[in-house]
Amino acid sequence: MDSRILSTEHAAASGVAEPWEGSNEAWWDWYLSLAAEDAAPTELVDVAPPSPVDLPSISELRDELATPFELSSDHVERFQREGYLKVGGVLSPGALALARSEVERLAAQGDGPGRSGFLSLDLMWQGDSEVLRLFALSPRLGRLAADLLGVADARIYHDNVLSKTPGCGRTPWHFDAHHFPIASRDIVTSWIPLQAIPEPMGPLAFAAGIDTWKVAEAVDFSSTDSSYDRGVAQAFRDAGVQVDDTPFALGEVSFHHAWCFHFARGNATTQPRQVMATTYFADGARLVEHPTMVSGDYEKFLPGAQPGAVIDTPLNPVVSR
C-alpha cells in the first residue's frame, strides 16, 4: 500500500534521491518554486491585524496548553475517514496573541523570508521563547495528535513557523509522507493559524479522503518545475475529489495526516499569514532506510537517529502526556 512516489526508483528518476544539503529556509524556497501560478491578484486585499486581547500569564498559558481538549468520537472518525480535521476553539485568542508576538519578535531577529516571501523558523522550542516551548511540547496538542492517530503516545518531529508575507505565492499540492523520513503511517501535523485566515490569505486546503493520495499516484514528481502541482490538481478535478479550502476562524486548528494531500493559495492580503505547525509521530516509529532530498534538513530534527532504528532522540520527546 506504499506510494510509487516514495519508492527509491521514483526518487532516483525524479532527481531527489540524494539527501538535501542546504538549510531548511533554502528547502522551502525550492519547494515553493514547484508551485503553479495562482490567478495573480491585481491588488492585495486590505485585512486588519488581529484585535488586541488580554494576554495570559505564562502560568495561565501553561495550564491552557496542558488541559486536555475533549474530542468527540465523530471528530476521530472524520479524521480517520477524511485524513484531516478542522476543530474550532482549540486555543484561546490570548494564547494565540502571545504566540504571534513571539513569532514576530523572532522573525525580526533573523535574515527575513527567503526569495519566495516564505519565512520558516523551526525548533523554536529549543530557543529562548518559553511561550513557543510550551506550544511545541503542549500535552493538549500532543494528546489530540495521538488520539486522532489512534496511538498510545505521540512524539514531536518538529515545530515550524510558516509565515507568508503579503504577496507570497502558493504552496504546491503535496502529501507530507513524501517529506518525512519516518517509516510509519502514524504521522500528523497540527496547523495553527495565529490570526483568522480569510479566503484571500490562503488557508491550508485539503483533499478529502484518507485514500485520495491514490488518485495522484500516476503523476510523476518533478524537482524542477510546477508539473506535479498542476498534474495533481488536474487528477483531483478529473476524479471529482472534494477540496476543503474554507477559511479558518481564530482558535481553529487543523490536523492533517501525512498521507493527506494539501496545498495553500498565496497570501493576497496586506497582513502576514502567521501559522505555527507541529508534526507528531507515533512513539516507537523508525527512521526510514534511505532519506532523500525531499526530506529536507531532517538530521537537524532527528539528531543521531539511525536509518531503520526506532527514533528516540532528545529532540523528539513524547508530548502526549
Ligand X SMILES: O=C(O)CCC(=O)C(=O)O
Please, which of residues 186-215 interact with ligand X by CB under 6 A?
189, 191, 204
> C-beta of 73: minimal distance to ligand X in Å?
26
* Per-position x/- string for 233-272, each x denoting binding to ligand X as judged by CB under 6 A, each - no binding: -----------------------------x-x--------
Backbone phi and psi for residue 238, each to the nearest 5 degrees, phi listed first: -60, -35
List residues bridging with 171 in a β-sheet. Answer: 264
> C-beta of 236: minimal distance to ligand X in Å?
16
132's grid cell: 513557543
Spell out where 180-258 has E strands. 187-193, 204-207, 243-244, 253-257
CB of 56 or CB of 206, closer to ligand X: 206
312's grid cell: 528516540
Per the CB < 8 A criterion, the answer to whether 36 and 76 are in contact is no
Q: Which residues in 11-43 are b (16+ Cβ under 10 Å) and which e?
A: beebebeebbeeebbbbbbbbbebbbeeeeeee
> C-beta of 50: minimal distance to ligand X in Å?
18
Which of 90, 151, 162, 219 binds ligand X (CB under 6 A)? It is: 162
Residue whose Cβ sits closest to ligand X: 171
* Per-position x/- string for 71-110, each x denoting binding to ligand X as judged by CB under 6 A, each - no binding: ----------------------------------------
> C-beta of 289: minimal distance to ligand X in Å?
23
Please, which of residues 10-29 interact with ligand X by CB under 6 A?
none
Q: Does 171 bind ligand X (CB under 6 A)?
A: yes
CB of 56 or CB of 253, closer to ligand X: 253
Radius of gyration, CA atoms only, the chain: 18
CB of 230 or CB of 256, closer to ligand X: 256
CA–CA dist 117, 167 (Å, integer): 8
One-letter amino acid for residue 2 of the chain:
D
CA–CA dist 128, 171 (Å, integer): 29
Q: Does 161 bind ligand X (CB under 6 A)?
A: no
Please, which of residues 108-137 interact with ligand X by CB under 6 A?
none
CB of 93 or CB of 193, closer to ligand X: 193
* Per-position x/- string for 271-310, each x denoting binding to ligand X as judged by CB under 6 A, each - no binding: ----x-x---------------------------------
Q: Does 176 bind ligand X (CB under 6 A)?
A: yes
Quick one: which of 310, 6, 316, 280 has its CA closest to 149?
280
CB of 103 or CB of 204, closer to ligand X: 204
Give whole-number Cα distances, 93 to 14, 36, 90, 195, in Å.
44, 34, 10, 9
> C-beta of 191: minimal distance to ligand X in Å?
5
> C-beta of 204: minimal distance to ligand X in Å?
6
> C-beta of 58: minimal distance to ligand X in Å?
27
CB of 138 or CB of 189, closer to ligand X: 189
Cα 171 to its chain centre, rounded Å, is: 11
Q: Where are the alpha helices (DSSP H) in the chain?
A: 8-13, 24-32, 58-66, 73-82, 93-109, 130-136, 139-149, 227-239, 298-301
One-letter amino acid for residue 267 of the chain:
N
Number of residues that bind ligand X (CB under 6 A): 10
> C-beta of 172: minimal distance to ligand X in Å?
9
Quick one: which of 57, 81, 320 has its CA closest to 190?
320
Residues near ligand X, by CB under 6 A? 162, 171, 176, 189, 191, 204, 262, 264, 275, 277
